[in-house]
Amino acid sequence: MLRWDFSVVYGLVFGHWSVCVIAEVVVGVIAYRLAHRVLVGEINPCGQCRACLSGQLAQCCHDHGYAAAGGWRFGNTINGAQAEYLLVPDAQANLAKIPDELSDEQVVLLSDIVSTGFSGAESGRVRIGDSVVVFAQGPIGLCATAGARLMGAAFVIAVESDPTRMAMARKMGADVVLDPQQSDVVAEVKRLTNGGADVSIEALGIQETFENALRCLRPGGTLSSLGVYSGKLQMPYDAFAAGLGDYKIVTTLCPGGKERMNRLMNMVKSGRFDPTPLITHRFSLDNIVEAYELFGERRDGVLKVAIRP
C-alpha cells in the first residue's frame, strides 16, 4: 500500500489491524462498554449481505459492491487504526473482547497476519499426515507454517533464504528449511516427500514462488495461495500438467469477524500457539516513519513492528 503496489483510496489513514480501547458505543451495539479492550480484525464483515449470508465473510460486499478486497475497509475505503480514533463499521460483528490474561502483543497479530497465515493451511485442506511446503517465511508464511502443523501435517518444509526467518521457521514448526539460493527446491521437495507435497502454500506473491509451489505438488495436490500479486502472473502449462494433474488452486483473503478473532485468541490462551516471537521491534506512533523504513528495508532481523500510541 505504501509503495502503491496495491492501490487504495488516496489520503486515507493506514492501519488495518489493531488492539483498541472503546471510547464510545453507538445505539444498537450491545454487550460492549466504555474502556473494554477489544481486538479489531482486518476484515469487517457486515453479516447481512449476500456474501456474508453465504458464509463468505471475507468477501463482504455491503458498502462497495463486489471487489477483490472484500471486507477489507481500514486504510482501503475508510480511515484505519493509525488515526486518533478508529470508527469500526458493523461493530457488533467485528469487536472481540480480549481476555484479561492476554496482553496486547499476544493478540494484535491475530487479526491479520495470524488469521491469514492459518487460513493458508485451512483453505489448502491440510489433513493429518500430510506433507506441506510453505514458500517464503515472512510473517504470514511463518504463520502458515505454524498453521500447517496445527492442522495435522506430519512433515512441513519451509522455503526461505534469510537466516533470521529460517531460524524462526524452525521455531514455528518446520521440519526442514530449504534455502532457494543453495538448492534446487522443487527437486529437493519431491525427494523429501517421495514424489511431491500434498499441499503447497505460497506466501510471497511473485511468479517464481507461485510457479515453484505448483511444481512441488504431487498429482492431485493443492496450491493454497496467500500472496498478493501486483504484477503479471502466468500459468506454465507443463507445471499444470497441461490440465490433467487434478491440481487444485485456491486463494484466500484474511478471514474476519469476531468469532474468528475469538477462536484465535483461544489458541493463544490455551498455549497452542504463541505469536509474540514475531514481534521483533517496537516503536511509538511518533516514530512510525522510522518503523516503516526499518520494516521496508528488512533491517536488524525485523519480522513485525508493534506501534503503540
**Three-state secondary structure of the chain:** CCCCCCCCCCCCCCCCCEEEECCCCCCCCCCCCCCCEEEECCECCCCCCHHHHCCCHHHCCCCCCCCCCCCECECCCECCCCCCCCCCCCHHHHEEECCCCCCHHHHHHHHCHHHHHHHHHHHCCCCCCCEEEEECCCHHHHHHHHHHHHCCCCEEEEECCCHHHHHHHHHCCCCEEECCCCCCHHHHHHHHCCCCEEEEEECCCCHHHHHHHHHCEEEEEEEEECCCCCCCCCCCCCCCHHHCCCCEEEECCCCCCHHHHHHHHHHHHCCCCCCHHHEEEEEEHHHHHHHHHHHHCCCCCCCEEEEEC
Report the C-alpha gap between 247 and 101 in whole angstroms: 44
Give the number of domains in the chain. Answer: 2
Nearest CA among 143, 247, 265, 147 for reference residue 198? 247
Q: Are 83 and 124 in the same domain?
A: no
Give the pLDDT confidence score for residue 9 in this predicted structure. 80
Q: Are 259 and 168 in the same domain?
A: no
Q: What is the pLDDT along the chain (309 residues), one digit of tens a residue?
A: 777 777 778 889 999 989 999 999 998 899 999 999 999 989 999 888 888 888 888 888 876 555 556 788 898 889 999 988 999 999 999 999 999 999 999 999 999 999 999 999 999 999 999 999 999 999 999 999 999 999 999 999 999 999 999 999 999 999 999 999 999 999 999 999 999 999 999 999 999 999 999 999 999 999 999 988 877 888 888 888 888 889 999 999 999 899 999 999 999 999 999 999 999 999 999 999 999 999 999 999 999 999 998
Q: Are 130 and 202 in the same domain?
A: yes
Q: Residue 291 domain-assigned? A: no
Of the residues 198, 217, 251, the one at which a domain ends = 251
Contact in structure between 66 and 54 (CB atoms under 8 Å): no
Q: Residue 296 domain-assigned? A: no
Q: Residue 130 domain-assigned? A: yes
CATH code of the domain in which 247 resides: 3.40.50.720
Give the pLDDT confidence score for residue 151 in this predicted structure. 97
| Tally of CB atoms within 10 A around 162 | 16
Q: Are 147 and 123 in the same domain?
A: yes
Contact in structure between 40 and 88 (CB atoms under 8 Å): yes
Q: Residue 103 domain-assigned? A: yes
Q: Residue 4 domain-assigned? A: no
Q: Residue 309 domain-assigned? A: no
Give the pLDDT confidence score for residue 119 in this predicted structure. 97
Contact in structure between 213 and 200 (CB atoms under 8 Å): yes
Name 33's Cβ contacts closer than 8 Å, sequence gap at least 6: 22, 25
Q: Are 212 and 234 in the same domain?
A: yes
Give the pLDDT confidence score for residue 143 in this predicted structure. 98
Give the pLDDT confidence score for residue 65 in this predicted structure. 53
By residue range, what is the domain housing residue 199? 118-251
Q: Are 161 and 239 in the same domain?
A: yes
Ramachandran region of residue 285, left (φ > 0), alpha (ψ -120 to 50) or beta?
Answer: alpha
Q: Are 95 and 195 in the same domain?
A: no
Give the pLDDT confidence score for residue 64 in this predicted structure. 56
Q: Residue 102 domain-assigned? A: yes
Q: Residue 263 domain-assigned? A: yes
User: What's the one-letter identity of residue 92?
Assistant: Q
User: How many angstroms separate the Cα of 176 from the Cα of each of 93, 156, 211?
Assistant: 40, 7, 20
pTM, to two decimals: 0.93
Q: Are 139 and 51 in the same domain?
A: no
Q: Are 189 and 220 in the same domain?
A: yes
Give the pLDDT confidence score for residue 59 in this predicted structure. 87
Report the C-alpha gap between 235 and 101 in whole angstroms: 47
Contact in structure between 123 and 109 (CB atoms under 8 Å): no
Q: Are 213 and 163 in the same domain?
A: yes
CATH code of the domain in which 71 resides: 3.90.180.10
Q: Are 25 and 88 in the same domain?
A: yes
Q: Are 161 and 101 in the same domain?
A: no
Give the pLDDT confidence score for residue 183 in this predicted structure. 95
